[in-house]
Structure 1
Amino acid sequence: MAQFRCKQFLVEQKHCGMKVSTDSLILGSWSNASCLPAGSVLDIGAGTGILSLMLAQKTADNVEIHAVEIEKNAILDCQKNFYQSKWSQRLRLLHTDIKALATDNKYQWIISNPPYYTAGQKFETQRMLARHQQELTFQQLLTCVSALITQQGSAEFILPYANLDCFVKEASKLELHLVARLNVKTVEDKNEYKLACLRFSKNKTEYSQDELVIYQQNKQYTKAYKALCQPYYLNF
């Protein structure tokens, strides 16, 4: 699908190796960035720019959003998506490796749908670059986040539930404290979780945890999933 249409913006994805996914739509919908009154947001590994656009929709007009992307084909789509959106003046695309980004510019909010495949799975080159840790390990990602986030800032991620413990341990080594978590099941009545949304802060605050189920047994979306994604999905 060359395009993905949301209620307030259109995502072109002709060139990008990673198309719009349920992962990003859940993370962007769950994000608490709407509480940010001003400042700047950083989207690491922007791809099509879907997370940046979702956060632009839910944040104030004086919040600037920077998106970092290394893959040149993803840049083509992301640049076009930013330009044709109504928030183009607040969106800035940086074609660079996050590990090379200057740390003197701090961000109040960081969001990322990070690479998580490690071995044994093969894709076309663009998709591999977007989804494999060979280019950006969890440790490298979290080290960058720790260096780029303000003391009062927050960082949000989505990843497979199986990777959760490893990710949280790496974050704790860098004094990034887990403050909120959303466990995601694909289908109700299934025991296993598939995904987890995580929110970290440099300051320890009250911890909250919730659960989301995407589908009912009849393969229809649950009321909770519809309510979460309603501001973005056309049919909700």
Structure 2
Amino acid sequence: MSQQKATLRANGFTFKQFFVAHDRCAMKVGTDGVLLGAWAPVAGVKRVLDIGCGSGLIALMLAQRTGQSVKVDGVELDAEAASQAQENCAASPWAARLSIYQQDISQWASQCQWRYSLIVSNPPYFAAGSACASPERAAARYTDTLDHPTLLSCAESLIDEDGFFCVVLPADVGNRFVEMACERGWFLRYRTDIADNETRPPNRVMLALSPKSGEQFYDSMVIRGPDQLYSEAHCSLTRDFYLFR
């Protein structure tokens, strides 16, 4: 089956080296996941974990960015999303080192015997409020299924002492997340504030936390320039993934 036919049939997104079907996932391929997958620091990583992996997008991106000895695991609560992530990973060039597990992350963390040098998550961030179209979408969006203290606790039990825990969040939620994490003993090492364009304030932030203190790097990025074309910074970050970049 050609990549074009796969795109039409599976309702997904075609990247340069892989295809992500997401028709059975509550949360579709989106800007936040792509940015985090392209941004998370991978130098020297040995094993990677994507918490709440959804369609497997970020796990696939990190498999593309790392060497053949690096194992990439994804944990996803929703059975349909986990099944689709397994199919996406099996169809990718890195199937042999990608593993998707359908389980609650708290249970996974209590049983897991590995430690990870990189943990990533595009986590829920809305407090429970207005109804979603489906329970699956509510689980992906609202923190009542995975609140941030629980997420941090799981990452604490799974992270290697030299590892990084990376998330993407709305800017205001991200600020509170940093405060909470630092109170628990994490150190903020990397931060990138992201704005849609130069006339708007940052509306999302990518954070890299570590159990160990060290040099800190802060920067910012706009997604589109004054001409509404993608900025050079955005293109540089995502060039290895998006078609026609």
Cα separation, 2, equivalents of 1:235 and 1:122: 37
Cα separation, 2, equivalents of 1:224 and 1:132: 31
- 2:207 is the alignment partner of 1:198: yes
- 2:101 is the alignment partner of 1:94: yes
Displacement after TM superposition at 1:36 (Å): 2.2
Cα separation, 1, equivalents of 2:174 and 2:21: 31
Task: Give 1:1-236 correspondences, 5 Å limit.
Answer: 2-33=11-42, 35-37=43-45, 39-101=46-108, 102-124=111-133, 125-190=135-200, 192-236=201-245
Write out per-residue CA displacement over residues 163-207 of structure 1, whole angstroms, 9 at most, x where no aligned residue.
Answer: 1221012211221110000000011122x2110000011110110
1:36 touches 1:60 (CA, 8 Å); kept in 2? Answer: no
SS of equivalent residue, structure 2 residue 113: coil
SS of equivalent residue, structure 2 residue 49: strand
Cα separation, 1, equivalents of 2:225 and 2:90: 37
Cα separation, 1, equivalents of 2:19 and 2:13: 6
Q: Which has the higher contact order (CA 8 A, sep 6+)?
A: 1
Displacement after TM superposition at 1:122 (Å): 2.9
Cα separation, 1, equivalents of 2:112 and 2:99: 17
SS of equivalent residue, structure 2 residue 120: strand
Question: Mind listing any 5+ residue stretches in structure 1 that lack a counterpart?
Answer: none
Cα separation, 2, equivalents of 1:150 and 1:84: 30
Amino acid at match of 2:44: L
Cα separation, 1, equivalents of 2:244 and 2:132: 31
Displacement after TM superposition at 1:46 (Å): 0.2
Cα separation, 2, equivalents of 1:66 and 1:210: 29
Cα separation, 1, equivalents of 2:184 and 2:48: 20
Displacement after TM superposition at 1:104 (Å): 3.2
Question: Mind listing any 5+ residue stretches in structure 2 that lack a counterpart?
Answer: 1-9
Q: When the two structures are superposed, what TM-score results if normalisation uses the length of structure 1?
A: 0.95
Cα separation, 2, equivalents of 1:93 and 1:103: 14
Amino acid at match of 1:59: T
Cα separation, 2, equivalents of 1:143 and 1:103: 14
SS of equivalent residue, structure 1 residue 139: helix
2:74 touches 2:99 (CA, 8 Å); kept in 1? Answer: yes
2:128 touches 2:144 (CA, 8 Å); kept in 1? Answer: no
The number of equivalent residue pairs is 233
1:28 touches 1:54 (CA, 8 Å); kept in 2? Answer: yes
* Shift in alpha-carbon separation, 1:137–1:3, aligned structure 2, 3 A: same
Cα separation, 2, equivalents of 1:153 and 1:59: 15
Identity of aligned residues (%): 33
1:45 touches 1:67 (CA, 8 Å); kept in 2? Answer: yes
Displacement after TM superposition at 1:88 (Å): 0.4
Amino acid at match of 2:37: G
Cα separation, 2, equivalents of 1:230 and 1:118: 34
Cα separation, 1, equivalents of 2:229 and 2:128: 33
Q: CA RMSD in A?
A: 1.2
